[in-house]
Chain A
Amino acid sequence: MLVKVTINGEKHEADVEPRLLLVHLIRETLRLTGTHIGCDTSHCGACTVLLDGRPVKSCTMFAVQAHGRDIMTVEGLEQDGKLHPLQEGFMAEHGLQCGYCTPGMLMTGVSFLKKNPKPSEDDIRRAISGNLCRCTGYVNIVKAIQHAAAAIQGGA
């Protein structure tokens, strides 16, 4: 089946099997390997991307379901050589270690901060509860999101 998507502002089309998972379209067909796979059951969130601005777990969607829609992956966060405040926040607050869950955390965070620009710590913890991290114990991920929220509020 022909699937047409816009990823990180670029239009792509591909002839795919109807059963191809969106994450495999992104990673294998289009070779954007920043989006990771960590489980088969939608629990870990490593594959989170934004579909029309909303976070989805791309391992649990077919590529054809994204037909005609707008996808953003971690590779789309940096604009004109300028990092997204969340990317800055994760580096400044040591919000990542092995880096494997990080792209999914970032994408969840981007969508969350748009909806809730002044979140409490509890808000953040709930927001990222669909993304598992085995390295950081979450404390610094929370701080990284707070860091980004403050930067965005400050006009970064």
Chain B
Amino acid sequence: MAPKTSPEVGGMGHSIRRKEDPRFIRGKGTYVDDVVLPSMLYLDIVRSPFAHAKIKKIDIAKATAIPGVLAVITGKDLEKYNLHWMPTLMSDTQMVLPVEKVMYQAQEVAAVLATSRYAAADGAAVVEVEYEPLPVVVDPKKALEPGAPVLRTDKKDKKDNHIWHWEWGSKADTDRAFSEADVTVKQDIYIPRIHVASIETCGCIAHFDKVNEKLTVWMTTQAPHAIRTVFALVAGHVGLAEHKIRIISPDIGGGFGGKVPVYPGYVIAVAASVLTGKPVKWIEDRMENLQADSFARDYHITAELAAKKDGTLTALRIKTLADHGYTDAAANPSKFPAGLFHVCTGSYDLKAAHVEVDGVYTNKPPGGIAYRCSFRVTEAVHTIERMADLMAHQLGVDPAEFRMKNFIKPEQFPYKSALGWEYDSGNYAGALRKAMDTIGYAELRREQEEKRKRGELMGIGISSFTEIVGAGPSKHFDILGLKMFDSCEIRIHPTGKAIARFGTKSQGQGHETTYAQILAEELGIPAKDIQVEEGDTDTAPYGLGTYASRSTPVAGAAAAIASRKILDKARKLAAHLLEAAPEDLVYEPGKFSVKGAPDRSKTIQDVAFAAYTNHPQGMEAGLEAVSYYDPPNLTYPFGSYICVVDIDKGTGEVKVRRFVAIDDCGNIINPMIVQGQVHGGLTMGLAPALYEEISYDEIGNIQGGSFIDYLLPTAVETPKWETGHTVTPSPHHPLGAKGVGESATVGAPAAIANAVVDALWHLGVRHLDIPITPQKVWRVLREKGVTE
């Protein structure tokens, strides 16, 4: 689709350069650790070596004797203010600092406050804690066995480690469909714990100004407004009121979901600043980040799929154990404890489905946040795409042909899924066909057949995913009661330039650029003349923040609606200037002209000037608008990915030879940025598919707690991604856009896993859990009698 605006205006469809880049390429960004305030103190945290242990004694004498150390804060200190526990976003409770016992390795035990970073670390090293180890529960299945130690002894009535049971869909219909099915497949699928590991870790500077009783917190947060409200609700009893709290989310070095939760370090820093009246900086190091911050996934899934003889899918049944660690600190919309996992029917026209999920406590850090994914959508997509491949192979049908047969057809949209979602739009066959043409699917299958004859292992994997993003409609979506709208406030200055502020917060997505392009598209004001700001709760309108690919679907829509409110007034102003009736004007981006007399026209800049210098009597001056956008539905981006792998029989190494990604995120704002989002998302799909996992030994010691063991892909492992797109606009979004930041992370792992299993199917391999490490493949090959 050709852009509506000129390159100079830079509206939608133009790959304009990013407005944020000039500061970043000069090293002039402002990340939280770059902020230094006068008299600032530093916080360092003492952490538990045990996964489950009673705290018998904390001796701070050696620490406080170190020059520069001012105090050691323990749970008992916070208990005096009733701040030793805090609520989680899922209405569970989480320790800020423990009084009785620790519940996971690397849990915060005490905090050292000092005049320098080094003194704080010195102090933390010599705080002496006496522990009494308690039995550790690592495996969620064992956690549910009778006689398992009850972990949450703080909850008086808690008699087991079961958190909640949640189910969705019709059990009766699903069971009936299974009993009538010609073919069924069943598979256990484990989707392991992983960590977003943004290159910037988490941290904050809390500054309580005692004179003005105002708390300012510079904080690595993806949701500054919600955080402000949470602080006000949690700490209201110690005198923090919401109008006296300012959260500033400065430049953020990657978020991916890991910067949504409230971590104990933030709260301790705030408490320390309130007590001392001095600014307090807390910056976690990488090991703290990997070992103690919220994790993603950890879903133990059993899935079953039913079909007719002719390959028509009929029903899906899923049971899942969700390992949440010692508290449910996920960041899901409150109505959905398993997030949007029930989008697990995926891209297929399934008539019946039933999903059950049980949340379980274990001695691990709080889990269940996202890994660049909208509330458990990766878990859903990975399951259905693995199962679709299993079924296709079981039936002896090509996986592409099998998908084509079972896709929801374009004419079925809006499509009501068996689990209750209303998919807005899609052309799944179109995306898969384009992916197959791009990669040369038929030729690859021929090559695979020849290689197989020669004993070489090559696999082709497909993932045709449907996402569900843009949370969400206020009817069903809230976090702690806060409805999941988002906002945009626009002010047009007299000289025709503008500032726009949003309730979201970019962490690299390029909002300063793409939001300006939306305004440029609507208002005709060049994107370069529009300043976009986010992340300061004292200036920006309230919004729920950036995660779950919601910025474009929700705040982007707010930008369009606020722009249109501006145009309503602009039309009246133009009519006044042109001495015509408003309804007699024709608008094209940036210009009003009189119907039938195109030479009689006023630009948006003329109109803006008039709003302050020559507005009609009876009309208020100024040209401003705000929109709090409540989306009528979620958006459903989709795509088809095809991956080709070669497997080294000697080492078990999986090499991704080619990877074609065709995405459909509806109408595109900035093609360059969309492609960049897909590249990054694919790499965060590759990572858990082949490399990343955080596991624990039987006594709860973390394996993978530093970049030595937790393997982020480098440029060498990362393939040269081949990307493309189709465009199926969202019918309900004012710009027809859908969101794209997470599609590739959600869709890619299944394509890679399917490719590996495809390469090994003839040997009798039916499934491999991710990450598919060389060791795992090597072992399977040897079991199957394959040698180098």
Task: Verify if B378 is at the interface (C-beta below 8 Å from A).
Answer: no
A130–B715 CA distance with the chains assembled, in angstroms: 9
Check A129 against B253 for contact (C-beta < 8 Å).
no
* A100-B199, A129-B715 known; A139-B679 Cβ under 8 A: yes
Check A134 against B33 for contact (C-beta < 8 Å).
no
Check B680 against A137 for contact (C-beta < 8 Å).
yes
Number of B positions contacting A (CB below 8 A): 57
Check B33 against A37 for contact (C-beta < 8 Å).
yes
Check B706 against A133 for contact (C-beta < 8 Å).
no
A103–B27 CA distance with the chains assembled, in angstroms: 6
Task: Verify if A46 is at the interface (C-beta below 8 Å from B).
Answer: yes
8 A Cβ contacts from B651-687 to A: 672-673, 675-676, 679-684
**Residues of chain B within 8 A of A19, CB atoms compared:** 118
Task: Verify if A14 is at the interface (C-beta below 8 Å from B).
Answer: no
Check A36 against B721 for contact (C-beta < 8 Å).
no
> Is chain B's interface secondary structure helix, strand, loop, or mixed overall?
loop
Q: Chain A residue with minimal CB distance to B29? A: A99
> Is chain A's interface secondary structure helix, strand, loop, or mixed overall?
loop
Measured CB to CB, the closest approach of chain B to A35, in angstroms, equals 7
Task: Verify if A151 is at the interface (C-beta below 8 Å from B).
Answer: no
Measured CB to CB, the closest approach of chain B to A123, in angstroms, equals 11
Q: Chain B residue with minimal CB distance to A99? A: B24
Check A132 against B714 for contact (C-beta < 8 Å).
yes
8 A Cβ contacts from A19-46 to B: 19-20, 24, 27-28, 31-41, 43-44, 46
Measured CB to CB, the closest approach of chain A to B238, in angstroms, equals 31
Task: Verify if B92 is at the interface (C-beta below 8 Å from A).
Answer: no
Task: Verify if B26 is at the interface (C-beta below 8 Å from A).
Answer: yes
* A19-B118, A106-B25 known; A137-B200 Cβ under 8 A: no
Task: Verify if B60 is at the interface (C-beta below 8 Å from A).
Answer: no
Task: Verify if A67 is at the interface (C-beta below 8 Å from B).
Answer: no
Check B200 against A100 for contact (C-beta < 8 Å).
yes
Task: Verify if B164 is at the interface (C-beta below 8 Å from A).
Answer: no
0 or 1 for each of B618-632: is its CB under 8 Å from A? (1 = yes)? 000000000000000
Check A74 against B680 for contact (C-beta < 8 Å).
no
Task: Verify if A87 is at the interface (C-beta below 8 Å from B).
Answer: yes
Measured CB to CB, the closest approach of chain A to B36, in angstroms, equals 8
8 A Cβ contacts from B17-35 to A: 17-18, 20-31, 33-34
**Residues of chain A within 8 A of B198, CB atoms compared:** 98, 100, 134
Check B706 against A97 for contact (C-beta < 8 Å).
no
A39–B200 CA distance with the chains assembled, in angstroms: 8
Check A140 against B706 for contact (C-beta < 8 Å).
no
**Residues of chain B within 8 A of A134, CB atoms compared:** 196-199, 254, 256, 680, 683-684, 712
Q: List 11 A-B contacts (CB under 8 A).
A: A31-B36, A44-B712, A75-B26, A99-B508, A100-B31, A100-B253, A106-B25, A125-B718, A126-B716, A135-B680, A137-B683
5 more contacts with CB within 8 A, not counting A36-B200, A124-B715, A134-B198, are A39-B706, A94-B18, A96-B21, A98-B200, A100-B199
Binding site for B on A (CB under 8 A): 17, 19-20, 24, 27-28, 31-41, 43-44, 46, 73-75, 77-78, 83, 87, 90-92, 94, 96-103, 106, 121, 124-126, 128-142
